[in-house]
Each structure stands twice: as structure tokens, then as C-alpha cells.
Structure 1
Amino acid sequence: MNDMKKRLARLLMDLSYREGEVTLTSGRKSDYYFDCKQTALHPEGSWLVGMCFLDLLGKYDIQGVGGMTLGADPLVSSVTVLSHVEKRPLPGFIIRKKSKGHGTNQYLEGLQNFKPGMKVALLEDVVTTGGTLVTAAERVRDAGLEIAAVISVLDREEGGRENLAKAGLQLDSIFTRGELLEAASR
């Protein structure tokens, strides 16, 4: 495991990982909560997340990245800025929870940077069941983009990968819960 990933694991554990019973978006109960925004909005955390995402994205043939607001907003911003710095430019888009309701009535913001048929990766902070990502993917496909991959900071390993596969989506992650706990303990 590289040094950046180890540093990210420690920062995630310090800022984003909390043990204790919580109810997740899916309605499931869990013995821990992972609030990635705390790390993704931290200066070093944003850089580390963006660099780790860029590393994973290197194995995919993509022309851009996007994700569902609010969780993916700092992830998309980090990747787009760092992709420019690294001379591997990837424009970004944000998927609204509800259509705009006026003007173009669109779900996706940032589409001027894309052409129909372009391959993109969806970025996500945490994957539990994958339900939110399946909805997001439908909106991206409806906008004419092709999804080459779904990349998350954390895969909780609670059925999300399998549910996404059923929807024709491939999940990759920086960490699974077990990998995060192990990396942070080193």
C-alpha cells in the first residue's frame, strides 16, 4: 500500500469514521458511521482522495467524472482540479436529487463539458446497497453518457457491489471497511 493511501486511511479514521449504532440512508442499522465529507472537505483529505481516485481511474478509459450531490460534490471537484494539475484533464458533472424545475429542467450540471457517448466514472463516498448509485446511473445514461466504472472511497461490503453489477455497473473502491481498518492501524 502506498504512502498516500496510508495517510488517507489515518485521516478517514480520525475525521470520518465513528463507531456506534446508526441508521443508514438505506434504512439499515449499522455499528459504525462513515461521513466522508469530513475528510473530503479537509485540505489534505481532499488532495489525498483526489490523488487516490486518479490512481484508480488510470485503469479505465474515461473522459470525465461525476456523482450525486451532496456526497460526491467535493470528490468531483478534487478529481477535476487534480486531473488538470496532473495533465490528465477530466471534466466533471454533478447529479441533482431532483430535476432543476425550471430552465432546462435537467438533472445533470456541467454537461457543456461532455458530448453524447463519452465514457465517465461515477464517484461516490460510501457504498452500502448501491441504490442511490443505480438511480444516479439512470440519469447519467439518460443524458447520453456511458458509465465505465463506479469508484467509491469506501465499500461497506453490504451488497452494493452485487446490486450494482446487476445494474451493469462495475464498482471499484479505495477501501473496503476491512482494508480501511487495517491500513489505519499500520
Structure 2
Amino acid sequence: MNEEEVLSEFRNCGALLEGHFKLSSGRHSAHYLQCARVLMNAERAGNLARALAQKIPREIRSQIEAVVSPAMGGLIIGHEMGRALGKDAMFLERPEGTFHLRRGFSLEPGTKVLMVEDVVTTGLSSREAIEAVGREGGEVVAEVSLIDRSAGEVDLGVPYFPLIAISFPSYNEDELPPELAAIPVTKPGSRS
């Protein structure tokens, strides 16, 4: 799938929002990609996961033993990536602020993991999730996401393969353009 096809999927289900949004990263933007809406249709979610799986080079794909994603955002696409790759999919949670595996999930020491996210902006959540996998005994060999909002600038410390990389500007709270500051802020993400 190319960039326009992916964005068309978001537009068609009302998942490409415009306004003033505070992202999970803490940055502000005039655009928000509500991945939960695009992934609410199982067939569409599966198609996106299969397209994303095609982005992973064969030599990396052959190493993957498990799929891990951070809850909430990565949960659905992580599950679909597990299906697309024929691997178990589990998720990290952070009820006390630090990611870890719960619900009986565990990794054997040295398990080669594919990290799966919905959207990456600054990469902070991804890096925290990658560190958590290391603490749990696994080794993240690569990360994939539906959307790279950094337009290819983010460094996750592992090979990274987004379905598309876009450049919707985002701003620190103290550098908001006047036209964005004039719009009431909405925080649609999963993190408080």
C-alpha cells in the first residue's frame, strides 16, 4: 500500500481528524490519526497488517519469534501482525507508569521480538517498550508501525519499518502557532 492508499483508509472511516490535539507524546498538532477507528474493521486491520509485514526485510522476518506491542495503541495492530506472521502476539501494559508484561505473558530468554506500534511521533513510548522487552528477557530485532509521524527522523535504536512516514507538524506547548492556539485542545490518545 502506498501513502495515499493508507491515508484514504483513514479518511474513509473518519480516522484522520483535524483540529487541535494533544498527542500521547505531549506535543500538539492540527492532525490526529485515530488508529482505533481504522482498525475497528477486522478485514481492514488484517489488510494493513499484511501490507506492514511486507515492509519487513526477509532476513529480519525470519528471526521473529514473537510479536509484542504496547497497550493501548499497539494492541489491535500487534494482534493482526501476529496473525500475518504466524507468531504469538502479546502486549505490554503500564498500570503504574512502567511497561511490563502481565496476564501470564512471558518471554523465554533471548526471544527475538518484533515491536508493533500504531503511530510513532517522538519514539518515546517505543523506546520504553523496547527497554521493557529487554527487562522481560526478550530482544527486539525491529519495530513496525502503521504511521511514522516523524517523517523518518525518529531513532528507536532498532531497525524501523513504518507502513508510511508522514510529516504532520507537531509543536511543544510553548511554541504553538497562533491559529492552533486559538482552537480548544482535545486529547484523544490513551495516555493521561
Post-superposition offset of 1:23: 1.2
Structure with more contact order per residue of length (Cα contacts < 8 Å, sep ≥ 6) = 2
Q: Taking structure 2 as the reference length, what is the TM-score of the superposition?
A: 0.73
Distance across 1 between alignment mates of 2:66 and 2:125: 20
Supply the distance in 1 between the matched residues of 2:100 and 2:46 (Cα, whole angstroms). 27
8 Å contact kept, 2:111–2:139:
yes
Contact 1:161 1:170 in 2 (8 A): no
Q: CA deviation at 1:159?
A: 7.8
Letter in 2 for 1:90: K
Cross-structure match for 1:39: 38
Distance in structure 2 (CA, Å) of the matches to 1:171 and 1:151: 6
Give me the identity figure in percent: 25
Aligned length in residues: 160
Alignment check: 8 A CA contact 1:72 1:123 kept: yes
Q: Contact (CA 8 Å) 2:152, 2:165: kept in 1 or not?
A: no
RMSD (Å) for aligned C-alpha atoms: 2.4
Paired position in structure 1 for 2:101? 108
Q: How does 1:86-97 map to 2 (within 5 A)?
A: 89-97=86-94
**Correspondence for 1:175 among 160, 164, 167:** 164
Corresponding residue number in structure 1 for 2:95: 98
Q: Secondary structure at the match of 2:158?
A: coil
Residues 66, 32 of structure 1: CA spacing in aligned structure 2 closer, same or farther, 3 A cutoff?
A: same
The answer on whether the counterparts of 1:64 and 1:90 sit within 8 Å (CA) in structure 2 is: yes
Deviation at 1:149, TM superposition (A): 0.7
Summarize the alignment of residues 58-137 of structure 1 with structure 2, pairs less than 5 Å apart: 58-59=57-58, 60=60, 61-83=63-85, 89-98=86-95, 107-109=100-102, 111-112=105-106, 114-137=107-130
Off by >3 Å, runs of 4+ in structure 1: 5-9, 109-112
CA contact 1:8–1:48 (8 Å) conserved in 2: no
Aligned twin of 1:183 = none
Distance 1:153 1:169, change over 3 A: same
Distance of 1:82 and 1:159 partners within structure 2: 24
Please list every run of 5 or more consecutive structure 2 residues that lacks an aligned counterpart in the other structure: 168-192
Contact (CA 8 Å) 2:10, 2:38: kept in 1 or not? yes
Instruction: Give me the TM-score of the superposition, normalised by structure 1.
Output: 0.75
Are positions 1:30 and 2:46 aligned together?
no
* Cα deviation 1:107-141 (Å, max 9, x = unaligned): 214635x4210111110010111111111111110
SS at 1:111 equivalent: coil
User: Secondary structure, in 3 states, of the residue corresponding to 2:142?
Assistant: strand
Q: Aligned equivalents of 1:160 and 1:141: distance in 2?
A: 24
Which residue in 2 is equivalent to 1:56?
Answer: 55
Q: What SS class does the counterpart of residue 30 from structure 1 fall into?
A: strand
